[in-house]
Amino acid sequence: MSDPISRNNPILPGATLGMLGSGQLGRMFAIAARRLGYRVHVFSPDCNTPTGQVADLEIQADYLDLDRVSEFARGVDVVSYEFENVPAGTTEACSRFSPVRPACSVLFTSQNRLREKTFLRDAGLPVTPFVAVRSLAELVTGLERNGVPAVLKTADWGYDGKGQVVIRSLDAASSAWSGLNVPHAILESFIDFDSELSVVGARGSDGEFVSYGPIGNSHSNHILDVSVCPARVSDRVTENAIEITRAVFEKLGVVGVLCVEFFLTKSGELLINETAPRPHNSGHLTIDAHVTCQFEQQVRAICGLPLGSGALRSPSAMANLLGDVWESGQPDWTAALKYPDLKLHLYGKQEARAGRKMGHLTALAENVDVAERTARAARDALRRAGFQTQK
C-alpha cells in the first residue's frame, strides 16, 4: 500500500501505533507514545514483556504467523519496530495494511551486515574496509589481501558482539570459519580506533532532520557499558559525524529514528561501523538529558508530526545495568539513589541473567567527567556486598 502519512496528513494523538518487538526499546517507545495520547499495540512471540506491560494490547504470536501479523497490522495506524531481527516477511505483511516506518527496504538493508556495508560504500560513505566471505578459501584470500588482525562476522542476526571473532593470524582462519558455521560472512579490517561514537537522529517524511550530536561509548565484553554526551571530540569531528549521519538517512530514505555507530581512528577519520534503524542503547540518556528524547522523536517521525528539539539540557552519562548486577541478590537501590542527580530506569524483565540488559542509570552534571564518575559510582553502589533479597 502507499504511505499516506505526511506533514499535511499526520497520524494524530488518539490513534493506535503498532510495535514489532517487545523489549526495552519498545517499552520506552510506548511510554513516550502514551504520554502523547496514543494507544500502543505490541506484537512478539513472548508475553508479559517489557513493552507489553505498558502497552494497551499485547499480541503473542510467532513473527512468521502472517495471519496474526496481518490481523495486528489491520488494527493499527502505523507500524514500527524495535530491533533489526524482525523477519522481512513480517514487515512486508504489515505494509499491506499499515505504513511501516522506517520502510521495509531500510530494515532489509540494515539487518544484513554485507548488504549494509555494500550499500554505504557504494553511496560514497566512509566504512570499515571489508570483503564478502563464502568459503574458507575466500577468507584466506581476504586475510592475505587486507592483513591481520581482522574481524570475521556473520552477515545476519548479529548484535552485542554475537556472531563475530577476531582473527590474529592466518593460522586461525580455519577454526574461525568453522566456528561461525554460516554459509556467508563478512571480513572487516581491524580498526585501531581512538574512540567509539554514535549519532542518533530522526527524519520526518518531509526531510526534516534532527540529531543529538555524537555520543561517546565504551564497551565491555562487546556490550555497551557507558555512554557520555557530549562526546569528548572536537567540533570538526562533531560536525562531520552529524553530516555523515544525515547522508545515511537521506541515502536510505529513512523516516523514523536511526543510529549510526562510528569508529574514530587515531588519525581523526570517522568510519561507519554499523547502523541501527531504531532507537539505540546509547541514546537512552536523551530521556533525561535532552529536550526531546529519541523515543518521542520516533513517535513524532512515524506519525508525520514536526520533530522536537534535540537540544542538550545537561551533560550526562548513561551506565547500563546488566543481569550481573543481581548476582549477589537484589541490588541496593537506596544506595544508588542517594545521588540526587541520578535517574533510574528499569525495564520490567522478570529474570536477571549475566549480560542481559535489565535497566540503566543516567547521571546529569555540569560536565561529562563528573556525570560519568557519578553513573559508575552509583552502579557500583548497587552491588553492596551481602545485600540480599528480603524474604
Q: Write out pLDDT tens, residues 60-84.
A: 999 999 999 999 999 999 999 999 8
Q: Write out pLDDT tens, residues 230-284.
A: 999 999 999 999 999 999 999 999 999 999 999 999 999 999 999 999 999 999 9
Among 182-191, 204-213, 292-301, the least confident range: 182-191
Query: What DSSP character marks residue 88?
Result: H
pLDDT category, 158, cuts 50, 70, 90? low
387, containing H or E segment = none
Q: Kindly report whether the global pTM for this prediction surpasses the value 0.85.
A: yes
β-bridge partners, 220: 223
Q: What is the pLDDT of residue 6?
A: 79
Residue 323, CA atoms < 13 Å, CB-side half-sphere: 9
Q: What is the pLDDT of residue 159?
A: 60
Q: Which amino acid is at 204?
A: G
- Percent of the chain residues past pLDDT 90, beyond the cut: 87
247, containing H or E segment = helix 235-252
Q: What is the pLDDT of residue 278?
A: 97
Cβ atoms of 34 and 11 closer than 8 Å: no
Q: What is the pLDDT of residue 308?
A: 98
Q: What is the pLDDT of residue 4?
A: 76
pLDDT category, 387, cuts 50, 70, 90? very low
Domains and CATH numbers, the chain: 16-100 (3.40.50.20), 129-189 (3.30.1490.20), 193-382 (3.30.470.20)
Residue 36, CA atoms < 13 Å, CB-side half-sphere: 25
Among 14-23, 187-196, 300-309, 335-344, the least confident range: 187-196
Nearest C-alpha neighbor of 145 from the set 170, 125, 179, 112: 170
pLDDT category, 388, cuts 50, 70, 90? very low
For residues 379-390, average pLDDT: 67
Q: Write out pLDDT tens, residues 324-351.
A: 999 989 999 999 999 999 999 999 999 9
Q: What is the pLDDT of residue 201?
A: 98
